[in-house]
Amino acid sequence: MKDTYGKIILAGGGGAADSRPLDELLAALIGLQGKLLYLPMAMRGLYPFEICLEWIEDTFLPLGIEQIEMWENLAEHQAGELDGFDAVYIGGGNTYSLLSEFRLSRFDSALTSYVRRGGTVYGGSAGAAILGADIQTIAHMDKNSVGLTSTRGLNLIDGRAIWVHYLPHEDADIADYVREREQPVIAIAERSGMVWDGAKLRAIGFEPAYEFTRQGKRPI
């Protein structure tokens, strides 16, 4: 794998129709002969993984991605296995339990290394939030039923936190978050998304995405 920063795709958490431009981009990056790794851990206890796999296949098989592998337990796999995949898809669900499972299996470090070696990672909803600097951006949505004490994310978007399922009426809450934590926030609606290549953010989707800093709100 090439020794350059990979691409990170962040989806706001909508349905298949909402994320279509992002899914098409991921399929293009993978290529018709490529292999996709799907991680459904955020749905543990919420939906059967078999249904999750059916959903991901219904999304990407029509886009020409036929090699899709799902891992149900990260502890059963080694970091080196990631190099056998052209992209990793992290699905939505409970963000606290997802981050906890990443940490306990040390998959957070493995995925960070994968990206820094040029790997492509797609995060949807909870999967997007954990790639940011901190997951407290989802405190108003998810329950911390796993007792996670540190909410620090993988921090793969240059110190920015990720606010998914964004709605305009949340602007004041996001501004408070930025001020209190001194941390910029990327806000992504369900019909929008972002691409990060290690140097530049690019919006993609049907609706705008925004960056909130101490200087205010700006469209990407």
Over residues 31-50, the mean pLDDT reads: 95
The conformation of residue 206, written as its DSSP 8-state character, comes to: S
pTM: predicted TM-score of the whole model, two decimal places: 0.95
Which tens digit of pLDDT belongs to each residue from 141-155?
A: 999 999 999 999 999
Q: How far is CA 148 from CA 100, 124, 178, 190, 217, in A?
A: 7, 21, 22, 26, 30
The conformation of residue 81, written as its DSSP 8-state character, comes to: G
**What residue spans define the domains of the chain?**
8-219
| Band of pLDDT at residue 1, cut at 50, 70 and 90 | very low
Which tens digit of pLDDT belongs to each residue from 62-100?
A: 999 999 999 999 999 999 999 999 999 999 999 999 999
Which CATH number does the domain 8-219 belong to among 2.40.100.20, 1.20.120.80, 3.40.50.880, 2.60.40.1510? 3.40.50.880
Q: Is 8 helix (H, G, I), strand (E, B) or coil?
A: strand
- Contact 52/71 with Cβ under 8 angstroms? no
Over residues 105-120, the mean pLDDT reads: 96
Give the sign of the dihedral formed by CA 72, CA 73, CA 77, CA 81: positive
Over residues 21-30, the mean pLDDT reads: 97
